[in-house]
A = this chain, B = another copy of it.
Amino acid sequence: MNALVCDVGGTNTRLGLVEKGVLTSGSLASFRNAEFADFNSLLSAYLWQIGRGRVDAASIALAAPVGPEGATLTNHDWTISRAGVGSVTGARAIHFLNDFEALGFALLDVGLLETVVLRDGPEAGNKQARRLVLGAGTGFNAAALIIDPVTGHPVVAAAECGHTTLPVQGEEEHDIQRFLSKGRGRASNERALSGRGLSELYAWCCEKAGTDPVLQGSAEIARRALDGSDGLAREAALLFARFLGRVAGDLALAFLPLGGIYLTGGVSRALLPLLKDDPAFMAAFHAKGRMSGFMEQFPIAMLTDDRVALAGCAAFLAAQPGSQKS
């Protein structure tokens, strides 16, 4: 059996071919969405490039709400449908996954992926232990990988963690919450923990300092925070790290991922040196009162591998009934 795996992002689509349960490295490709009129054209181009007329199955991860028949990408007005994918690829089995669902399945074989370890723990690498992936990029979300202790079969619990209440404490953060809540009455995790969130935190730092924001966009704020050339950018990045640490700690208590917490997402990755070397992230992660000692058990790493969603699509297929790898 072979299968197409596909990770449809807002800007690029990554693709690969799984043969006998393994993602073949020679098959990996990335296409710019803007160069194609629709998703089916992109799929056709890929199959032509790798010299395949058809595949047996397809597993497609999307950063969009996914229904059984597919999804619509709002930023390109693309419809990705079961019927369309079937007609282009010939696949009989077609699976649509939420992007974080795919990342959750990728944690099954996380040893095969590039990661940066922030902190080890006693159950790191235990194949039976729960794991959690969480990330801040365009938005914020998380997914838990849970191994059924009876069947040994993996289950991924998808979530909508970008919309839960941003946890704040103390005077300064109360003022940040007020700033982020303007016109909304509330601030969700995503209001701080996303690219736009980092920009908002920077805007708050500027307002507090009585200056106008000069940096444009989260990538520039992250870069200037890391190279030390902008004090307000660094302050914003440290606030981001603190909120990320607190939310990661709260999610650790909710899902108990003793097998490991994996950070992902463009903004988290851009700030990796700061998350790793500055105490802001870890201090907020551990600050759980009498549970602080308990928090030290959770291994924490950053996923730095661009293939992670494709690996997750492959792992998802292997976990389906009748798969030779399941």
A227-265 interface with B by 8 A CB criterion: 246, 249-251, 253-256
Contact status of A321 and B185, CB under 8 A, knowing A163-B288, A246-B165, A289-B163: no
Give chain B nearest CB distance to A321 CB in angstroms: 6
Q: Which residue of B lies closest to A326 (CB)?
A: B150
Q: For the complex, count residues of A whose C-beta is within 8 A of B.
A: 47
Residues of B within 8 A of A19 (CB): none
Copies in the complex: 2
A146 to B146, CA, bound (A): 9
Residues of B within 8 A of A153 (CB): 148, 150-151, 153
Whether a CB of chain B sits under 8 angstroms from the CB of A168 is: yes
Whether a CB of chain B sits under 8 angstroms from the CB of A184 is: yes
From B160, B249, B319, B320, contact of A253 by CB (8 A): B160
Which of A164, A174, A181, A187 gathers the greatest number of chain B CB atoms within 10 Å? Answer: A164
Give chain B nearest CB distance to A245 CB in angstroms: 11
Residues of B within 8 A of A146 (CB): 146, 155, 157
From B149, B163, B291, contact of A160 by CB (8 A): B291
Residues of B within 8 A of A83 (CB): none
Give chain B nearest CB distance to A180 CB in angstroms: 10
Give chain B nearest CB distance to A113 CB in angstroms: 23
A290 to B294, CA, bound (A): 35
A256–B160 CB distance below 8 A: yes
Give chain B nearest CB distance to A34 CB in angstroms: 27
Contact status of A291 and B253, CB under 8 A, knowing A150-B153, A174-B174: no
A144 to B146, CA, bound (A): 11
A153 to B146, CA, bound (A): 12
Residues of B within 8 A of A246 (CB): 165
Residues of B within 8 A of A155 (CB): 146, 148-149, 155
A176-197 interface with B by 8 A CB criterion: 177, 181, 184-188
A257-297 interface with B by 8 A CB criterion: 287-291, 294
A144 to B158, CA, bound (A): 12
Give chain B nearest CB distance to A122 CB in angstroms: 14
A148 to B153, CA, bound (A): 8
